[in-house]
Chain A
Amino acid sequence: MKKICLFLCLLTAAVSGWSASVPDNMYFHAMKDEMKRSLKKLRMKDNPKPYYIAYKLKNSYSQVWSANLGGEYAASSSAPNLEISAVLAVGSAKEDNLGFEGDRFYYQPSQMGYIPQSYWGIRHALWQMSNQEFLAAVDSYKKKQTYKEQKQIKQDYPDFASAKQATFVEEIPAFAKLPDEPLQAMVTRLSAKGKGVDYLNRFGVNIVNEQADEYYLNSDGGLYQLCRKNMYVGFSAEFYNQAGYLSQFSKVYPLPAGVVPNEQELSQQADEVLRELDQMYRAKKVEQPYLGPVLLTPRAAVSFLEDLFVADMNHVTPLLQITGAEDPTAGAFRNKEGMRVMSNVVEAYDKPLEREYRGITLQGFMPVDDEGVRPQELKLVSSGRLLNLPLSRRAGKKNLPSNGHARMGDKTYPREALSNVFITAKNPLSQEELEAKLLARCRELELEYGYILHEFQPGQKVLQAERIYTADGRREPVFFFEPVGLNARALRDILAAGADDKMYALMDVYGRKYSLVAPSLLVDETELTVREQTPDRKPLIAKP
């Protein structure tokens, strides 16, 4: 009898462990009530029952002001969009349905958008979603069991390790709407600057003011309630360059959230964009491939690191694949702790608890991760060696404790992922020093010129670049090539890094937002090939 009593007490604690500390609002009341009901009553005969549920609600508000060539798109307004996602695990923490990709095309949670803003509306959506997740979980659990039996997989570690659960609750302010009229007038004036440039077909400017309120609750007691504010200005343009190629351009600058931006500063940014466009317009077509050092300015450096570093650091625990194949989504650095993965001129950190960088919102801020664990700041790489990886409660064979880096996205259940990544130079160099170093390296390799890449997409194309001549340091804008053969090896080829760190807001292919702060990087041995494409058809009549 004693044993039974103890068991009941534990169960109650598990189900209602958070009841005392859950914030008093309809979001948490709805999550708590439906979670209790689902844990207690969702059953299918002869099948495992739910043992863990996590719900995440996101209420998104936005205001957008946009204009093009001095014409205005009317400011749009809309009610907040309430979205819900859910994770439900059946079986037990020792052996459950997750960490396995069966024949559900993706390893992703159920989601619903445009949920009614009412307690019953949220309950209704959670009811349907829990049901959907439960049926999928049971299906996945059975397939996983069969797979493990067939493959004779024995494990002495839990599928889902226990971890101390954390809470974070901050007050959610009402969405601070900014006044439409001055902001609409501002973007209209900024976009009118494009009218004075003959070759521009379009010059668009938009300012976005966003707020996302997040509410998370899991059945182990982890919870958070936080408000993310975000604001940015975007510039876009289209033109035929001098060589007759139709070119598209877009650039986004983060802004301090929730305040009317300073028009003078934005005007300077617009002028800077117009100067860049002028360079792109005048750029010469590259005729020869190139193999040699390149200087990546921060924007290009971020694209380089995004593809070659961040993606390989994520998803430390591979998913079991029903096909028996290796998990293609698992990060390539997962087994390289202690190994040299990067040049020793830079260091890398992940700082999930930082919220702002020079007054701008960091996208990866998370006071509690999506498994209820408080995240730790990680020194990822030092002296070129990989020191730490992001870890979740699903550590797999490593059986290491979570360091609070389980992150859920639109297209993935919680998996290990970085949040706010900082790449810093050990000995930061000025722009002039970096250029001098580039030229010196080119001379050493007996190259006539080197390249400065301002923007590129690894594996795709270079959008903005300059050729710099070794003889006299002369620079000329060029276009029409693409990098080839770039892989993680290139991280070890970083020769120097700048002092010009910039922050960029990014989103990975799984729908997780994060920030990457990086300086200019000088990279040795980069191959650039000439693209094969004929010029676009010239307009039949001149622009009005």
Chain B
Amino acid sequence: MKKFCLLFCMLFLTAASFGQNLCQVAEQWPLQQLETELQRGMKVFKKQKPAVYYLSYTYTEQEEKSLAVAESGVLRQSDQNRAYLGVMARAGSPRLDNTRELKSGGSSYYMPTVGVPFFPNKDGKAFRTFVWRLTQDAVDGAQKGFTRAQADSLTSSDRSDPSDDFVFPPKEQYCREEAFPPFDLEKIKALLLKASSLAQGEKFILDSNFSFSTRMGYRYFVDSVGSRIKTPFVYARMGYMVTGQTADGSRLTRSEYYDVLNEKELPNEEKFLADVKRSIAELNTLYTAPEAEPMTAPAILKNRAMAVFVHEVLGHRVEGHRQKDDAFGKTFTEKVGKPVVSPILSIVDDPTLAYFDGIPLRGFYEYDDEGVKSRPVTIIENGVLKNFLMSSSPIEGFPLSNGHGRAALGSRPVSRMGNTRVIASETVPYQKLEQMLLDEIKRQGKPYGFIIEDLSGGFTQTSTYAPQAFKLEPTMVYRIYPDGRKEAVRGADMVGTPLVSFNKVLAAADDYAVFNGSCGAESGWVPVSGIAPSVLLEALEIEKTEKSGDKPPLLPPPYDAKKGGSK
């Protein structure tokens, strides 16, 4: 236990580290304007039939830069400053409002959002005209949505969870500013161009892409409860992808992405180029690798693959709003207080973490998209389900938000993950884990086991209509034979069901690592992170992946003439 505490003290840098740049809410011009329009509107809206009982504004100012290169040339480069306004209106009452999941179908997660101009001259009247106009649409949509929800509630079967549609978030006042880090785009471009030339001249590479992007700015939030919030955000990502295709249609991909908060955190040239070379070599290995055969065998899920596995297979199933929607499978709804995964695992979703072991986490945020302060939530403790991730849509036994209401621009927030970390109570060095895998292969009498090195993503079925199963797409898989020999295989998908799969975790390594990515769900794409150690699974089911029906190009890439080319 001592070791466990020490580990976390050393590795995590929380939001408290950013606390020194606090500002005054009352001095923020956008917050003032939004508040003025909100108060003016609510006086009228709350008297309407149906009444609009809650209103919030999210105003985002951001600068986006992106750069993509391939084949030693720039293919895309842009630099845009944009401001967006989103309006969330709730009509009816917290008991029943326009956000109710309709049993008759056709629920909408759209939140009225428009691009708005900047007003450097602080022309409040003009700015508020945009706010007023969009509010009109939002209120109109909310009232129509409420009427639909009301009709649906009269004609549909009883809900298994009769909880309200909304719980008012607490009133918050918070303002923080940040000096946004500069990035030397020309230097980064030169590095990407250099890296892109490494992918040329290889017959097994069909396409390649090397990219860098940043998105940084401020998010302002105002609601009718009285919350006034300004928070900064910074996302910067550099990475690459190389793809290929075998003659029989297997699609092959190797990629690497580096998420940073400033330029110093980017990999240096030597490391970046070495990683690119490694990925190209791996793609070549896959190109000539045998195709995987359907098989159930013991396996190691390497740390980052495990992070994706937990996100897809477990994380989405503990999102609160799914527990009250009868269209969802509710794998874990009735399992609070009961063991659901191997007892060696605990899982916490902690959006307050900005870094893990020096690596920035994309799932960091201070307030969620409903104005609720973020906090760590223990989902599973020693294998036992403790909590769900909650937005402001309450469920039985969980009446309040725990700061996980998230959405992309243009979508209504629902409960989502932030930084999902897996903690193992007992760990071994990775080499020991591999030895344990070999022992398990022999014990089970299997011809080989698997090491899942990398996962690109996948999907999980949570609807009652479909089997409650998952299918994940590993991009780098090795067979490991009882004598320790490893062999790359291609075309393998991981399949299974959540309750069975998580109970088969036998051991974990001490090699925690971060997977940074973007998660797509009802409320759009949001940045997330997963932190996990490598784990040993007693059994993992592998099946063949879908292949492309397209023929690979008849001619080799044009580089055979590279040396003699005219330019």
Interchain CB contact under 8 A, B117 and A68: yes
Instruction: Give per-residue flags for A156-198: 1 if the beta carbon is below 8 A from chain B beta carbons, else 0.
Output: 0000000000000000000000000000000000000001000
Contact between A124 and B557, CB atoms less than 8 A apart: yes
Q: Is the CB of A201 within 8 A of B133?
A: yes
Contact, CB under 8 Å: B70 / A121: yes
**A and B contact pairs by CB, cutoff 8 A, 29 listed:** A29-B566, A33-B558, A34-B558, A41-B555, A69-B123, A70-B121, A70-B123, A71-B117, A71-B123, A71-B130, A72-B117, A72-B118, A72-B119, A73-B118, A78-B78, A79-B77, A81-B76, A117-B74, A117-B75, A118-B72, A121-B71, A121-B72, A124-B557, A135-B551, A201-B129, A202-B133, A540-B44, A540-B48, A544-B132
Residues of A close to B72: CB separation below 8 A: 116, 118, 120-121
How far apart are the CA atoms of A32 and B561 in the complex, in Å? Answer: 13
Beyond A33-B565, A541-B41, whether A127 also contacts B126 by CB under 8 A is no
- Nearest to A22 among chain B residues (CB) is B566
Assess the A116–B554 pair: CB atoms within 8 A. Answer: no
A76 nearest CB across to chain B (Å): 5
* Additional A-B contact list (14), CB under 8 Å, known A66-B117, A78-B78, A116-B73: A29-B567, A32-B566, A33-B565, A33-B566, A34-B558, A42-B554, A78-B77, A114-B75, A116-B75, A120-B73, A122-B73, A131-B553, A195-B126, A540-B136
Closest approach, in angstroms, between the C-beta of A102 and any C-beta of chain B?
Answer: 18
Check if B115 is an interface residue, CB within 8 A of chain A.
Answer: yes
Q: Which residues of A have CB within 8 Å of B565?
A: 29, 33, 119-120, 123
Measured CA separation A74–B121 after assembly (Å): 14
B80 contacts partner chain A, Cβ-Cβ < 8 Å: yes
Contact call A116/B558, Cβ cutoff below 8 A: no
Docked complex Cα distance between A78 and B81 (Å): 12
Distance between B166 CB and nearest chain A CB, rounded to angstroms: 21
Contacts of B132 in A (CB 8 A): 539, 541, 543-544
CA distance A384 to B545 in the complex (A): 65
The residue of chain B having its C-beta at the shortest distance from the C-beta of A204 within the complex is B117
Specify the chain B residue showing the minimal Cβ separation from A67. Answer: B117
Question: How many Å from the CB of B46 to the closest CB on chain A?
Answer: 11
B227: min CB distance to chain A, Å: 22
Question: Is A115 positioned at the interface, with any CB of B under 8 Å from its CB?
Answer: yes
Pair B140/A118 contact, Cβ less than 8 Å? no
A202 to B126, CA, bound (A): 9
With A69-B117, A71-B119 in contact, is A131–B71 under 8 Å at CB?
no
Do B80 and A74 touch (CB < 8 A)? Answer: yes
- Residue B562 at the chain A interface, CB threshold 8 Å: yes
Q: Indicate whether A134 reaches chain B with its CB closer than 8 angstroms.
A: yes
Q: CA of A137 to CA of B119 in the docked complex: distance in angstroms? A: 54
Q: Judging by beta carbons under 8 Å apart, are A69 and B129 in contact? A: yes
Closest Cβ of chain A to B335, distance in Å, is: 46
Contact indicator A30/B567 (Cβ below 8 Å): yes
**CB proximity of A420 to chain B, nearest CB, Å:** 33
Which single residue of chain A is at the shortest CB-CB distance from B40? A541
Given contacts A78-B77, A119-B567, contact A544 B119 (CB under 8 A): no
B427 sits at the interface (CB 8 A): no
When distances are taken between beta carbons in the complex, the residues of chain B under 8 Å from A250 are: none
Answer whether A114 and B68 are a contact pair too, CB < 8 Å, given A70-B126, A544-B129.
yes
- Which residues of A have CB within 8 Å of B511? none
- List the 7 closest pairs (A to B, CB-CB), nearest first: A118-B73, A71-B117, A116-B73, A74-B81, A121-B71, A79-B77, A121-B73
Distance to closest chain A CB from B144 (angstroms): 10
Q: Is the beta-carbon distance between B117 and A120 smaller than 8 angstroms?
A: no
Query: Contact between B555 and A42 (Cβ–Cβ < 8 Å)?
Result: yes
Check: B29 CB closer than 8 A to any chain A CB.
Answer: no
When chains A and B are docked, how far (Å) is the Cα of A128 from the Cα of B117?
Answer: 41
Closest chain A residue to B69 by CB distance? A116
Assess the A76–B123 pair: CB atoms within 8 A.
no
Q: Quick one: CB contact mask for B266-292 with A, threshold 8 Å, 1 for yes?
A: 000000000000000000000000000
Q: Does B4 interact with chain A (Cβ within 8 Å)? A: no
Q: Complex formed: what's the CA distance from A26 to B565 in Å?
A: 11
| Residues A37 and B126 in contact, CB atoms below 8 Å apart | no
A258 to B123, CA, bound (A): 32
A window 92-120: CB within 8 A of B: 114-120
Q: Chain A residue with minimal CB distance to B556? A: A127
Contact of A73 among B73, B117, B124, B559 (CB under 8 A): B117
Interface secondary structure of B, over-half rule? mixed
* CA gap between A118 and B75 in the complex, in Å: 9
Please, which residue of chain A has its CB at the minimum distance from the CB of B42?
A541
Tell me the nearest residue of chain A to B126, going by C-beta. Answer: A69
Size of the A side of the interface (Cβ < 8 Å), in residues, is 54
Closest to B125 in A: A544
Residue interface mask B11-48, A partner, CB < 8 A = 1: 00000000000000000000000000100110011001
CB neighbours of A195 from chain B (8 A): 123, 125-126
Encode A30-57 as 1/0 by CB contact (under 8 A) with B. 1011100110011110000000000000
Task: Report the bound CA distance from A114 to B81 in whole Å.
Answer: 21
Residue of B nearest to A125 (CB): B71
Enumerate chain A residues within 8 angstroms of B133, measured Cβ to Cβ: 201-202, 238
Q: Which of A208-257 contact B (CB under 8 A)?
A: 238
Specify which chain B residues have a CB less than 8 angstroms from the CB of A122 in the assembled complex: 73
User: Considering the complex, which residues of chain B in the window 512-567 have a beta carbon less than 8 Å from any beta carbon of chain A?
Assistant: 551, 553-555, 557-559, 561-562, 565-567
- Tell me, in angstroms, the Cα distance from A74 to B41 when the chains sit together: 29
In the complex, whether B400 has a CB less than 8 A from a CB of chain A is no
* Cα of A44 to Cα of B554 in the assembled complex, Å: 8
Q: CB distance B558 to A77 under 8 Å? A: no
Collect the chain B residues with CB atoms within 8 Å of residue A134's CB.
554
Contact A82 B127 (CB under 8 A): no
- Whether, in the assembled complex, A2 has its beta carbon less than 8 Å from a beta carbon of chain B, the answer is no
CA distance A96 to B153 in the complex (A): 62
> Given B70, B117, B118, B553, which contacts A127 in the complex, CB threshold below 8 Å?
B553
Q: Is B161 an interface residue (CB 8 A)?
A: no
Chain B neighbourhood of A26, CB < 8 A: 567
A154 within 8 A of B: no
Expressed in whole angstroms, the Cα–Cα distance for A134 and B555 within the complex equals: 11
Residues in chain B near residue A537, CB distance under 8 A: 140
**CA gap between A126 and B553 in the complex, in Å:** 12
Q: Does B82 contact A (CB under 8 A)?
A: yes
